[in-house]
Amino acid sequence: MKNINSIFFFTLISILLNTTSFSQVTGNPALDSVNHQDIPFPTQKKIILGGLQIALWGGSFYSLNKAWYANYPKTKFHTFNDWREWKRMDKAGHMWTTYSISEHTYKLWRWAGTERKKAAVIGSLSAIGYSSVVEVLDGFSDKWGFSPTDVMANIFGTSVFMTQSLLWDQQRIRIKLSYHPVNYGDLNDRANQLFGTGDIEKMLKDYNGQTYWASINIHSFFPKSNFPTWLNLALGYGAETMLGGYENTWYDPNGNYINRKDILRQRKYFISADIDLTKIKTRNKVLKTAFSMMNVLKIPAPAIQFNSKGKMRFHPLYY
C-alpha cells in the first residue's frame, strides 16, 4: 500500500515544530550578530526561513529516497490510477496534508513579515511543490506510479486554504483529521501486514480508523449571530472494514488465497461538533502555538453516523 500520508505527516510535524522555535527567535544571540549588519529584521527572518525550508525539504527528500524508495526497484516513469483504492480515503488524506502544510507554511512566512496574499501563495505553492516531487518519485518506483488523482487531491487541499485566505483572510472551513484504533479480532494478522503494529504507524496507515472532516466555523458566516466564535459544525467522511485496496481478498505469507468478500466494505458519513482552537483567546505564546499545532485534528465530540447502507448510529463520543 502506498503511504504518502506518513511522509507528509512527518514533514508537517517538522514545520510545526519550527513554528514553535521561530516564535522565540527574538533575542537569540545568533540573530543579534546578524542584526549588526544593515539588514532589516523582516528581511533577516525571510532569509533564515527560506534557508531552513530548503534545508528541511532537501533533507526530507534525501531521507525519503534512502529509507523508502531505495527498498523497491526503480523503473521508467509511469502513471498509476488508484482513484478507487481504499474508498478514496487516501485522497482525503492528501487534501488534509496539503491543506495543513499550506496553512502552517503561510503562518511562518507571515511571521517573517511577508505580505498576507504573498504569504498565502508561497504557502500554497510550497505544499504543491513538495507533494509533486513525492508524486514524481512514485512515478519512478516499480511498486507504485505517478498518480494524477493524487495530484488533483493535493491541488484541491491547497486550493481550499488559498481561496479562503485570499477571499476572507481567514479559514472558515478547515480540513481536519481524527483517528481511533480498530480491533480486527481474528483478522489482526492481516491488519498488521497492511497497517503495521505501532500506534503511530497505524494512525498513519489505517484508513479504517481515520475520519476526515470539513470543520465549518458558524460564526464566521453569521458574524451577527450569538454562536460562539470557537464553535464549529463538522461534516466527516470515513470508511470501515477494508482489508485491501479494492476488495477484501489477499494472499497470506504462505501464498494461500484468502477471500473475505463476506465482510462488507462501507463508507461512513458524520455530523458532529468541533472547536476551532485558534479562536480561543489567549496571550500565552506557547499556548497559541500548541493550539495552532493541535488545530489540524478534530476535537472528540458526540457524532451522528450514517453508513452507505443508510443505517444511522449515535456516538456519545467520536474521534
Q: Both 101 and 245 in a single domain?
A: no
**Considering the domain boundaries, does residue 293 fall inside one?**
no
In this prediction, residue 165 carries a pLDDT of: 97
**Considering the domain boundaries, does residue 249 fall inside one?**
yes
Find all residues with CB under 8 Å of 200, minimum gap 6, and list them.
Answer: none
CA-CA distance, 273 to 264, in Å (whole number)? 28
Last residue of a domain, one of 132, 156, 171: 171
In this prediction, residue 11 carries a pLDDT of: 52
Last residue of a domain, one of 155, 171, 187: 171
In this prediction, residue 80 carries a pLDDT of: 92
Number of domains comprising the chain: 2
What are the residue ranges in the chain where pLDDT is below 50?
Answer: 1-6, 9-10, 13, 16-38
pTM across the whole model:
0.87
**Considering the domain boundaries, does residue 292 fall inside one?**
no
In this prediction, residue 87 carries a pLDDT of: 97
**Considering the domain boundaries, does residue 288 fall inside one?**
no
**Considering the domain boundaries, does residue 82 fall inside one?**
yes
In this prediction, residue 118 carries a pLDDT of: 95
Residue 189, all three cell numbers: 494478522
Q: Both 130 and 178 in a single domain?
A: no
Q: Both 66 and 110 in a single domain?
A: yes
In this prediction, residue 23 carries a pLDDT of: 43
CA-CA distance, 7 to 197, in Å (whole number)? 18
Q: Both 29 and 145 in a single domain?
A: yes
Burial per residue of 225-255, b for 16 or more beta-carbon CB atoms within 10 angstroms, e otherwise = eebeeeebbbebbbbbebbbbeebebeeeee
In this prediction, residue 51 carries a pLDDT of: 79
Last residue of a domain, one of 171, 202, 230: 171
Q: Both 194 and 154 in a single domain?
A: no
Q: Both 162 and 25 in a single domain?
A: yes
Helices 41-67 and 4-22 pack at an angle, to 10 degrees, of 150
Q: Both 164 and 206 in a single domain?
A: no
Q: Both 96 and 155 in a single domain?
A: yes
Q: Both 109 and 203 in a single domain?
A: no
Identify the burial level of 300 via C-beta atoms within 10 angstroms of its C-beta, where 0-12 means exposed, 13-18 middle and 19 or more buried. middle
Find all residues with CB under 8 Å of 274, minimum gap 6, and list them.
Answer: 176, 213, 215, 231, 232, 233, 234, 298, 299, 301
CA-CA distance, 164 to 178, in Å (whole number)? 22
Residue 60, all three cell numbers: 526530507
**Considering the domain boundaries, does residue 181 fall inside one?**
yes
In this prediction, residue 40 carries a pLDDT of: 60
Q: Both 48 and 104 in a single domain?
A: yes
CA-CA distance, 208 to 180, in Å (whole number)? 9
**Considering the domain boundaries, does residue 289 fall inside one?**
no
Q: Domain range spanning residue 318?
A: 172-282+298-319
Q: Both 203 and 227 in a single domain?
A: yes
**Considering the domain boundaries, does residue 220 fall inside one?**
yes
Q: Both 19 and 55 in a single domain?
A: yes
